[in-house]
Amino acid sequence: MPLLEIRNVSKIYGELKALDDVSLHVDQGEWVAIMGPSGSGKSTMMNIIGCMDKPSMGQVILDGVDISKESSKRLTDIRRDKIGLIFQQFHMVNYLTAVENVMVSQYYHSMPDEKEALEALERVGLRERARHLPSQLSGGEQQRVCVARALINHPELILADEPTGNLDEANENIVLDLFRQLHNEGTTLIVVTHDPEVAEVAQRTVVLEHGRMVREIVNERFGK
């Protein structure tokens, strides 16, 4: 059963076709990587899937809802309820501690619950660092907090934008291991990256170039 279905989506900025008739479908529990060089339309795709932008043409159906027609207010609701976001730049609220940053996500979603937030941090191995401010955490630790924040509300879909772009190899592996765990638990993952190594740990890689989907690779090595 598809969680996400993109049908003939185009996004046009003036003369520029950032996305040109792209179709994609992602099943529930699938782990898909979207790859491409910069300017290929990755970010636009990510914005549209993440309910932060609307396509100029085509349909996007997320969990049975056509999000290409919704108001931005509804899009905010859908994003909050269904999607966990992970960013390349981590993006933590710099004056809140790790656990508070996780709780911010709960706050907008439903109810802040410190115990649950601490459990999420425990899961990413940062229980001991819960009371630290972002400035006291390494990049890898910050990204792990962001993973905890993304999964705290049990989203249908985790959408990660270059999640390992700013990490060293050791931290990259920790984050990818977390993704693996999430996948094994049945969470749907869409990872946008330009890094082939990150792409090939996914089940399937979709390659974008100049706004068009040029290739789709099923990773042989997946699960190995």
Partner 1 sequence: MKRRAMFFRMITASLLRRRSRMLIALLSIAIGATILAGLVTVYVDVPRQMAAQFRSYGANMILMPAGSGVLSEADAEAAQTVIPGEELVGATPYRYVYLNMVRRQQTFAAAGTEFDQVQKTSPYFKVVGRYPSEPRQVLVGKSVADTIGVKENSVMELTWFPPSVDAAESPASGAAEIAPGMVLSGQAAGFGMQEGMNNKPVYVVVTIGDDGTIASLTVDTSGESEGFGTQCSESFFTDRFIGKPARDLELGKDVDAVSGATITSAAVVEAVNSAAPVDDTAAVLTPRTVNYTVVGILETGGEEEDYIYMSLDDMASITGQAGQVDFVELSVSASQDSLERYAQEISDSGRATARLVKRVIRSEATVLGKLQALVFLVTAVVLVLTMVSVSTTMMAVVAERRREIGLRKALGASDNAIRVEFLGEGLFLGALGGLLGAGLGFVFAQVVSVNVFGSDIRFSMLLLPVTVIVSMMVAALSCLLPVRRAVAIDPALVLKGE
Q: How far is the CB of 70 from partner 1 (least distance, A)?
A: 14
Listed ranges 23-31, 81-89, 169-177, 201-209: which one lies at the site for partner 1 (CB under 8 A): 81-89
Where in 11-50 is the site for partner 1 (CB under 8 A)? 43, 46-47, 50
Nearer to partner 1, 91 or 123 (CB): 91
| β 31-35/188-193 pair status | parallel
For residue 41 the two structure tokens come to: 């339309």
- In 3D space, the residue among 204, 197, 208, 206 whose CA is nearest the CA of residue 218 turns out to be 204
Q: Choose which of 52, 57, 61, 217 interacts with partner 1 (CB under 8 A).
A: 52
Q: Choose which of 3, 35, 67, 85 interacts with partner 1 (CB under 8 A).
A: 85
Where in 90-149 is the site for partner 1 (CB under 8 A)? 91-96, 100, 103-109, 111-113, 133, 149
Rounded to whole angstroms, the Cα distance separating 52 from 30 reads 22
Nearer to partner 1, 96 or 217 (CB): 96
Convert residues 154-193 into a mask of x (bound to partner 1 by CB under 8 A) and - (unbound).
-------xx--x----------------------------
Using CB under 8 A as the criterion, which residues of the chain lie in contact with partner 1 when the complex forms? Answer: 43, 46-47, 50, 52-53, 73, 76-77, 79-81, 85, 87-89, 91-96, 100, 103-109, 111-113, 133, 149, 161-162, 165
